[in-house]
């Protein structure tokens, strides 16, 4: 990279690609960026995706713009790493996704017009299945290892958040009829799993406790799916509520000159209930 390169803020994606190339240029680039590879950058990619979701949940649209930029940087970074290895570049990434969008929307860009929503969904599934088979054939011809489990439940990424992955696995099973026909059966299953967890706990069987806890979370994810609730989003709202109420405890104790560790559970619980009451008032006013 020419050392006279002086980047300036720009809306042109080519500038971002050029800046990334400069950061990765040996001797003149950034030492930290030069140390990175696909594996070390992957956690940041996941983190940035979560920060995009967080900005949306907070309805902070200015922050959303910045977080989308951070996520885009991750794509450009991975593309640069691949380009250095002679695999593909950012243009190849763009070509791959534009090709996929055109291929998967023949009802928009092709001859399959005037389809109903359920017909679009069925066609989408057929196209994805064909793509999956094509990839499997290619990998087999290249002598590459399998990247995902075979069978109907294959294709659900292993690295998804566990609750999200549970919902996706259950949804795929439901596509072929493996599902409870009514939500009340899910509630019955939850009661059953709670009893099994309590049994494991009473027997002090640590392995069984962990297993039964996982089963309980799995069936709770199933209930979320039946109720059309995103379990990750729901849990994040619960986290936010906990943070807000605990902050109330801290604030009230600080006003009284009391340290958290000296407050005691009874006093903190009373302040927690005070925060709960304030939440109810706030909901009523809204």
C-alpha dist (Å) from residue 257 to 253, 260, 262: 6, 10, 10
Check: CB of residue 72 under 8 Å from CB of residue 16: yes
**Alpha helix locations (H) across 85-112?**
90-104, 106-109
- Tell me, yes or no, if the two domains 13-141 and 162-229 fold the same way: yes
Class of the CATH domain delimited by 162-229: mainly alpha
Interatomic CA distance for residues 146 and 135, integer angstroms = 10
* pLDDT computed for residue 114 by the predictor: 80
Residue range 61-87, pLDDT digits in tens: 999 999 999 999 999 999 999 999 999
Residue from 216, 271, 265 nearest 244 by CA: 271
Per-range mean pLDDT, top range of 43-57, 112-126, 213-227: 213-227
Residues of the chain above pLDDT 70, percent: 97
Over range 22-36, report the average pLDDT: 95
CB atoms within 10 A of CB 167: 22
Quote the tokens at residue 165: 């992955």
Residue range 7-19, pLDDT digits in tens: 999 999 999 999 9
Per domain, the residue ranges of the chain are: 13-141, 162-229, 232-285
CATH number of 13-141, picked from 1.10.10.60, 3.40.190.10, 1.10.287.1080, 1.10.3720.10: 1.10.287.1080
* pLDDT computed for residue 131 by the predictor: 82
* pLDDT computed for residue 87 by the predictor: 95
Confidence grade of residue 48 (pLDDT, cut at 50, 70, 90): very high
Confidence grade of residue 97 (pLDDT, cut at 50, 70, 90): very high
Residues of the chain above pLDDT 90, percent: 69
pTM for the model: 0.67
């Amino acid at each position: 990279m020419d050392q006279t390169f002086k980047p300036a803020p720009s809306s042109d994606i080519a500038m971002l690609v050029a800046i990334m190339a400069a950061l990765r240029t040996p001797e003149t680039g950034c030492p930290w960026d030069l140390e990175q590879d696909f594996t070390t950058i992957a956690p940041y990619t996941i983190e940035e995706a979560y920060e995009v979701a967080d900005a949306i949940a907070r309805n902070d649209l200015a922050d959303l713009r910045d977080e989308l930029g951070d996520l885009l940087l991750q794509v450009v970074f991975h593309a640069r790493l691949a380009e250095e290895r002679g695999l593909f570049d950012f243009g190849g990434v763009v070509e791959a996704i534009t090709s996929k969008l055109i291929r998967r929307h023949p009802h928009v860009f092709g001859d399959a017009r005037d389809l109903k929503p359920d017909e679009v969904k069925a066609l989408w599934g057929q196209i994805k299945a064909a793509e999956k088979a094509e990839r499997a054939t290619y990998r087999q011809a290249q002598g590459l290892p399998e990247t995902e489990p075979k069978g109907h439940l294959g294709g659900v990424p292993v690295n998804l958040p566990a609750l999200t992955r549970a919902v996706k696995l259950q949804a795929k099973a439901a596509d072929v009829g493996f599902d409870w026909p009514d939500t009340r059966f899910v509630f019955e299953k939850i009661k059953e799993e709670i009893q099994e967890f309590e049994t494991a706990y009473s027997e002090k069987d640590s392995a069984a406790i962990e297993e039964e806890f996982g089963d309980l979370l799995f069936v709770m994810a199933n209930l979320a799916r039946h109720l059309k609730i995103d379990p990750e989003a729901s849990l994040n709202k619960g986290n936010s509520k906990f943070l807000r109420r605990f902050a109330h405890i801290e604030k009230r104790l600080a006003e009284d000159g009391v340290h958290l560790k000296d407050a005691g559970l009874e006093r903190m619980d009373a302040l927690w209930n005070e925060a709960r009451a304030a939440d109810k008032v706030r909901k009523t006013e809204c």
